[in-house]
């Protein structure tokens, strides 16, 4: 007769180390993406003729375009870094390795 009371298969697997580094990296890159969006909005507002949002930093159109480009770079880098850290958090060392392009596309 089989007794399944109190059996937990997760106790048979070795414990994985904590992934607080990857979570911190995901939060930091998401913060970079948000900061990039804010810089893009400030640069776009100045280029469209609205009053400058950052004071003397974007008075001219060349400064505003630099803010726009810097915001785009920060946003792009933040999104790419966030996606990489999320993919690494979902990946388990004890499971079968899957190719990254076979994973779900929701991230």
**9 in any annotated domain:** no
**32 in any annotated domain:** yes
The string of pLDDT tens digits covering residues 43-77 is: 888 888 776 666 676 677 888 888 899 999 999 99
- Evaluate if residue 95 carries a pLDDT over 60: no
**107 in any annotated domain:** no
**37 in any annotated domain:** yes
**14 in any annotated domain:** no
Looking at the 3D structure of the chain, how many domains does it have? 1
pLDDT band at residue 88 under the 50/70/90 scheme: confident
**38 in any annotated domain:** yes
The string of pLDDT tens digits covering residues 19-48 is: 788 889 999 999 999 999 999 988 888 888
Q: Is 66 exposed, middle or buried (0-12, 13-18, 19+ CB in 10 A)?
A: middle
**6 in any annotated domain:** no
**44 in any annotated domain:** yes
Range of the domain at 40: 19-50+60-89
Whole-model pTM: value is 0.66
* Cα–Cα nearest to 30, from 107, 106, 92, 102: 107
């Amino acid at each position: 007769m089989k007794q399944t009371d109190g059996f937990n298969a997760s106790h048979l697997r070795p414990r994985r180390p904590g992934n607080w580094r990857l979570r911190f990296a995901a939060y930091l890159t998401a913060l970079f993406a948000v900061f990039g969006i804010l810089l893009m909005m400030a640069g776009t507002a100045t280029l469209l003729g609205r009053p400058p949002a950052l004071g003397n930093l974007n008075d001219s159109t060349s400064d505003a375009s630099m803010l726009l480009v810097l915001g785009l770079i920060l946003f792009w880098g933040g999104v790419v870094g966030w996606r990489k850290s999320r993919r690494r958090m979902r990946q388990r060392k004890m499971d079968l390795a899957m190719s990254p392009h076979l994973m779900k596309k929701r991230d």
